[in-house]
């Protein structure tokens, strides 16, 4: 069992990051998390769950398809003025499935039951007036997102590796 760390000062975000960190270590995924203080940042607990659980689960699943020595994930969550910036980068096998409009598709077999997670993330990012970009090249998948939050203030970030 891994030590529980205080990443952000937000109970829900800390629980999610701790569970993610534990799963990543169990799967031999090199992990680096840099997270600012998110206490009282204005994002609801439910919205943090939707965004982080979907994006982090996707990153873990992608890494599991890569040979063990090449598995890695970096997470950066920063507060700047009234904006939360979220960046998740991870190794992946270089294979992306997209529809005719360039929208990412799930690689899971049952597309009826899977593939709605990213739509939920986009909906939450949009709810906070933010933007999200996702792309993969050179076997690196990158997610960059922002959310506008009136309660978010610039705070010192802590790097817990």
76-102 per-position pLDDT tens digit: 999 888 899 999 999 999 877 655 665
Q: 20-42 burial, b if ≥16 CB within 10 A, otherwise e?
A: bbeebeeeebebebbbbbbeebe
pLDDT in tens, 5-62: 888 999 999 999 999 999 999 999 999 999 999 988 889 999 999 999 999 999 999 9
Determine if the pTM surpasses 0.85.
no
Closest listed residue to residue 22, CA positions, set 5, 7, 1: 1
């Amino acid at each position: 069992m891994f030590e529980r760390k205080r990443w952000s000062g937000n109970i829900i975000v800390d629980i999610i990051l701790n569970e993610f960190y534990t799963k990543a270590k169990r799967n031999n995924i090199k992990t680096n998390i840099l997270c600012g203080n998110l206490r009282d940042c204005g994002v609801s607990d439910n919205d943090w769950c939707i965004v982080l659980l979907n994006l982090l689960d996707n990153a873990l699943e992608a890494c599991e398809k890569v040979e063990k020595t090449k598995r890695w994930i970096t997470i950066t969550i920063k507060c700047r003025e009234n904006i939360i910036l979220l960046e998740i980068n991870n190794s992946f096998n270089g294979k992306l499935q997209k529809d005719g409009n360039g929208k990412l598709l799930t690689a899971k077999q049952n597309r009826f039951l899977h593939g709605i997670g990213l739509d939920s993330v986009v909906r939450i990012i949009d709810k906070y007036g933010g933007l999200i970009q996702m792309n993969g090249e050179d076997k690196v998948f990158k997610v960059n997102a922002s959310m506008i939050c009136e309660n978010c203030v610039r705070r010192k970030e802590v790097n817990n590796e």
